[in-house]
Structure 1
Amino acid sequence: MKFLHTAFLLCCAAATQAAPLPATVRQELKKAHIPASGIAVEVREAGRHKPLISINAQRPMNPASTMKLLTTFAALDLLGPAYTWKTEAYIDGELKDGVLNGNLILKGYGDPKFTIEQFWLWLGELRARGLRDIRGDLILDRSYFNLPPYNPGDFDADPMRAYNVGPDALLINFNTMRLRYMPEGNNLKVVSEPPLDGVTLDNQLTPKSDQINCDNWDDRFSVQPSGDSVVLQGDYPIGCGEREQNLSVMPHTRYVGALFGAVWKELGGTLQGKERDGIVGSNAQLFSIHRSEPLSTIIRDINKFSNNVMARQLFLTLGEAGPALEDETGASASGLNGHPLSIERSILTLQTWLARNRLDFRELVLENGAGLSRKERISVAHMAQLLQHAYDHPLSAELQASLPILGVDGSVKKRLKESPAASHAHLKTGTLEGVKTIAGYVRSKSGREWIVVFYINHPYAKSGQDAQDALLEWVAGK
């Protein structure tokens, strides 16, 4: 412990003209066995160039989900708060008396939040426009994103978790199924939402009444997709009461087809063919356009609830505002002109935007813009610089409104609820194995605005929340 204390003093002294970490923060880090080498901190008053605290501030660190701050702020500046995504419906064939002798084509442009409720309303509009029976296939045009093969299990070997859903130009309802487990006495009822046409739920779970830690209520059973079946096997702890999971159990194309089939039947329509991937042909006629919620609303969900797939959709959409690229023929290629968007294009767009705003983040490493990554890196000094740039921006209020409010909502709802700091900070958090981060704005009791960035990259990072909270309380008390 003596060595750890000395290391903190040396580290803090090395930060030019900066104050050391508050004693309460050092104490909490010692309790968590996190050394100075595992942290990076920058605290500065908004509008001031000189930081109050600066520790390992230039070191590239894994930011986890605080990387969403870069993605969402760049989107506000490049696309504007009123930006919306479109999804198009085309008919390829003759429509007469409600019967389409041909195919219905749905073309996506990356809407991050096309929910089941919105999808149901849109399909209802197609019915109102006179479409009833489709005597062809449902063709899904997902070509607007040019993406490499994606394995949802690559990140943490848990491919069905909702946070591992990959981006898709035609993302509907986050490609997830909600399983609701409802104990009824000694029996267990499991229902799935939304309904998926042709997909069956095979509940083989055995209700168990023995006592377990309900924090790990889903450790004793498995959920496995098997073709068009979802098989549940193992023991369910009925003492844990009603629970639910959001899981991704099938590929995008099959999911959209099954969801369309269920809703279309409910609306009185028929589909004779099957779902399949394809593109809008030259003979197809535009039938209807769905518009998403505006960007200003989308970023609230991304930041307050740290929605990874929405962030990845937005990151790819940034390519629409990027510099002109050349396709394989040498012609100019732009997402706005119908050419596909890619991760590479989005990275170039962000790099160009940073350079234009004189933000020289040389250590920045981007992979998906969501922070669900082992590769992404940024320093706390540059994250603080980004937050300062956002603070001075005309759209600063939109960004801050998207951030969780300490002790009130989002990912910091349960933190410092009884502290004087509650409600006095807008913060983005990030958590991965070995990573615990927080970044945002704190209003102190004197009325001053502070920018706080505190990253922990260490095997004991998950134990570092109390140290981060201690810093937030210290800043709020200034």
Structure 2
Amino acid sequence: MIFRKTAMVLLTIVLSFAAVFTVIPEDSMVQASSRNYQSMEKSLNAIMNDSSMKSVNSSITVRKASTGEIIYQSNGMNKVTPASTLKLLTSAAALETLGEGYRFRTDLLTDGSISKGVLKGNIYLRGQGDPTLLKSDLDQFAANLAKMGVKQITGNLIGDDTWFDSVKLSPGIDKNDETYYYAAQIAGLTLSPNTDYDAGTVIVNAQPAKNGYKAKVTLTPDNSIVTVVNKSKTVPKGYKNTLSIKRQQGTNNIVITGNVPVGSAGSKQWVTVSNPTAYTLDVFKKSLASKGIKFTSSSKTIRGQVPLNAKVIASKQSMPLKNLMKPFMKLSNNTHAEILAKTMGRQVYGEGSWDTGLRVMREYAQLSGLNDSEWLFEDASGISHNNKVSSEQLSELLFLVRFAPWYGSFVQGLPISGMSDRMVGGTLKNRLTGASIKGKVTAKTGSLNNVNSLAGYVQNKHGETLIFTVLIQGQSKTAIPIIDRIATILVNS
């Protein structure tokens, strides 16, 4: 396997530390490993003994980062839905399997020839699942053709998305969720509307017009794939904003309803598209038109595979994977996780599918020294409620990766508590903002209905780094305040 060398190094390290690991009985509350942590133990046990925690499924493990020794554990072997903290395994497996320098590639090709401004043949857009492909990149492809003197194309515009299989949605995505940005379709050829890189989505912005008129709607990028059904109404200033922007499931109809008050900001939503390949081709065709490049009346825009005789005209490469870690992990991008899983499957087994991608992730876990039988997952993003893992296993992963050569890329992608810059604080930018804890927690968040989690590293008041994992499921209201109390206790320990 690609990651065998690093895995064997990690396994050697694990064995060398085995003598210092504390064996923890599987009790709900346990004693901390030394007198230095007695205050921490008392405070954490008080939280776990609270009546609000009695009816939930929880799992907490705290380790010393220096040795991996468990210093506190509550229900450490309980399997809980990890939500987006599963992305810790996905990112580690991707960095190990693909490498920090891995780049996605998109090619523009043709099987024809150019004569007197006419390209006689087809042009192809071939993708490798690049989630960072933007309209500006397609504009550059069009500019390249224009510089070659092309003004007309006699053949078809063909999108090659065969780098991945044809399955677009992971098993854990509910049909009611598939129109939302966090459940975008996964395709070998896809497009992002801006540098948040939510691939497979379009930004729909509805703003007030004149009183009594429909809201003014703009699409970013502009495209003809989605159809806007505008049933909204602009109402006088002071009225409640009731705008709703939703795509009808199974279609590309985006329906806008409700009232938008004069003087208000309106509403902006990232909405998934059905068929990202067709969406990308449509935007590219508009880029070509903007450069004065036209197709003949018989030309079609279709999906197909690049023939062997086609030649590359231009290529675009993404940022390296080590840089993609920030938008991926800081913003907890589900689409990136699933694209990385399929990419790992393609790289190792020659098939860009969830079956092969998740197989690579399981093999990485096993060869790294984790108990792969304790990791149950059916996607790479953590969106499925059927995913399960214990805090002990997740915290062990966070210990093992510290010895990997790509650890710097891994950890710089994690959100940092209370940091207002969203590419620093990420999903923790508005949490743990107090003076004593701001910047002291570097961790991955997780959130689903009735599920909250946080897993990563804290620096305590003695300058010691601790590894912690908190998984809570089944609560009637958000467990974020409880989790943040736990993190604060660790920082002050």
Which residue of 23, 41, 51 corresponds with 2:60?
41
Q: Name which of structure 1's ranges 191-200 and 270-279 shifts more when overlaid on structure 2.
A: 191-200
Residue aligned with 2:86, SS: helix
Q: Deviations over 1:281-336 (max 9, x none)?
A: 233222222211110111211100011111110111112443xxxxxxxxxxx43x
Q: Deviations over 1:50-99 (max 9, x none)?
A: 21111111122211111111111111122211111111222122222332
User: What is the 5 A alignment of 1:456-471?
Assistant: 456-460=472-476, 462-471=477-486
Q: Aligned partners of 2:343, 2:252: CA distance in 1, in Å?
A: 32
Q: What letter corresponds to residue 399 of structure 1 in structure 2?
A: F
Q: Which residue of 2 aligns with 1:262?
A: 286
Q: Aligned partners of 1:184, 1:26: CA distance in 2, in Å?
A: 56
Q: Which residue of 2 aligns with 1:160?
A: 179
CA contact (8 A) 1:403 1:428 kept: yes
Residue aligned with 1:468, SS: helix
Residue aligned with 1:411, SS: helix
Deviation at 1:178, TM superposition (A): 0.7
Q: What letter corresponds to residue 397 of structure 1 in structure 2?
A: G
Q: Which residue of 1 aligns with 2:301?
A: 275
2:239 maps to 1:206 = no
Q: Aligned partners of 1:24, 1:208: CA distance in 2, in Å?
A: 53
Residue aligned with 1:428, SS: strand
CA contact (8 A) 1:223 1:230 kept: yes
Q: What letter corresponds to residue 259 of structure 2 in structure 1?
A: D
Q: Aligned partners of 1:213, 1:28: CA distance in 2, in Å?
A: 40
Q: Deviations over 1:110-156 (max 9, x none)?
A: 21221223332333234334443222211111111124364899425
Q: Aligned partners of 2:128, 2:475: CA distance in 1, in Å?
A: 39
Q: Aligned partners of 1:373, 1:442: CA distance in 2, in Å?
A: 27
Q: Aligned partners of 1:474, 1:182: CA distance in 2, in Å?
A: 45
Q: Deviations over 1:310-365 (max 9, x none)?
A: 1110111112443xxxxxxxxxxx43xxxx32212112222222232222231212
Which residue of 219, 224, 245 corresponds with 1:192?
219
Q: Name which of structure 1's ranges 64-73 and 200-209 shifts more when overlaid on structure 2.
A: 200-209
Q: Which residue of 1 aligns with 2:454?
A: 438
CA contact (8 A) 1:104 1:136 kept: yes
Q: Which residue of 2 aligns with 1:82?
A: 101
Q: Which residue of 2 aligns with 1:118?
A: 137
Distance 1:363 1:210, change over 3 A: farther
CA contact (8 A) 2:225 2:279 kept: no
Q: Name which of structure 1's ranges 97-106 and 129-138 shifts more when overlaid on structure 2.
A: 129-138
Q: Deviations over 1:9-58 (max 9, x none)?
A: 96104999997975655666777823275211011110223211111111
Q: Which residue of 1 aligns with 2:208?
A: 183
Determine what percentage of the aligned residue pairs are the same residue: 25
Which residue of 13, 21, 29 corresponds with 1:12?
29
Q: Aligned partners of 1:254, 1:164: CA distance in 2, in Å?
A: 18
User: What is the 5 A alignment of 1:367-386?
Assistant: 367-386=378-397
Q: Which residue of 2 aligns with 1:348?
A: 359
Deviation at 1:209, TM superposition (A): 5.1
Residue aligned with 2:472, SS: strand
Q: Name which of structure 1's ranges 97-106 and 238-247 shifts more when overlaid on structure 2.
A: 238-247
Q: Which residue of 2 aligns with 1:134?
A: 153
CA contact (8 A) 2:207 2:260 kept: no
Residue aligned with 1:420, SS: coil
Q: What letter corresponds to residue 363 of structure 2 in structure 1?
A: T
Q: What letter corresponds to residue 33 of structure 1 in structure 2?
A: S
User: What is the 5 A alignment of 1:218-297?
Assistant: 218-219=243-244, 222-224=246-248, 230-236=254-260, 241-272=265-296, 273-297=299-323
Q: TM-score, normalised by structure 2?
A: 0.83
CA contact (8 A) 1:26 1:467 kept: no
Deviation at 1:239, TM superposition (A): 7.2
CA contact (8 A) 1:19 1:53 kept: no
Deviation at 1:222, TM superposition (A): 4.8
Q: What letter corresponds to residue 281 of structure 1 in structure 2?
A: P
2:322 maps to 1:311 = no
Q: Deviations over 1:223-255 (max 9, x none)?
A: 548977644233335575333101024322331
Distance 1:14 1:405, change over 3 A: closer
Q: Which residue of 2 aligns with 1:327?
A: none
Deviation at 1:430, TM superposition (A): 0.7
Q: Aligned partners of 1:104, 1:166: CA distance in 2, in Å?
A: 24
CA contact (8 A) 2:376 2:388 kept: yes
Distance 1:400 1:238, change over 3 A: farther
Distance 1:10 1:72, change over 3 A: closer
CA contact (8 A) 1:317 1:341 kept: yes
Q: Aligned partners of 1:367, 1:403: CA distance in 2, in Å?
A: 23
CA contact (8 A) 1:416 1:422 kept: yes
Distance 1:70 1:36, change over 3 A: same
Unaligned 5+ runs, structure 2: 1-25, 193-198, 420-424
Deviation at 1:198, TM superposition (A): 6.7
Q: Name which of structure 1's ranges 168-177 and 358-367 shifts more when overlaid on structure 2.
A: 358-367
User: What is the 5 A alignment of 1:283-432?
Assistant: 283-322=309-348, 334-335=349-350, 340-408=351-419, 409-432=425-448
Q: Aligned partners of 2:51, 2:478: CA distance in 1, in Å?
A: 5
2:83 maps to 1:58 = no
Q: Aligned partners of 2:458, 2:447: CA distance in 1, in Å?
A: 20
CA contact (8 A) 1:177 1:193 kept: yes
CA contact (8 A) 2:443 2:454 kept: yes
Q: What letter corresponds to residue 452 of structure 1 in structure 2?
A: F
Q: What letter corresponds to residue 354 of structure 2 in structure 1?
A: I
Deviation at 1:211, TM superposition (A): 6.9
Q: What letter corresponds to residue 436 of structure 1 in structure 2?
A: N
Q: TM-score, normalised by structure 1?
A: 0.85
CA contact (8 A) 2:78 2:390 kept: yes
Q: Deviations over 1:158-193 (max 9, x none)?
A: 321111112111111212111112225635322111
CA contact (8 A) 1:253 1:275 kept: no
Q: Aligned partners of 1:16, 1:477: CA distance in 2, in Å?
A: 17
Cα RMSD (Å): 3.0
Residue aligned with 1:450, SS: strand
Q: Deviations over 1:383-417 (max 9, x none)?
A: 11111111122222111111111111210100021
Q: What letter corresponds to residue 478 of structure 2 in structure 1?
A: S
Distance 1:236 1:152, change over 3 A: farther
Residue aligned with 1:100, SS: strand
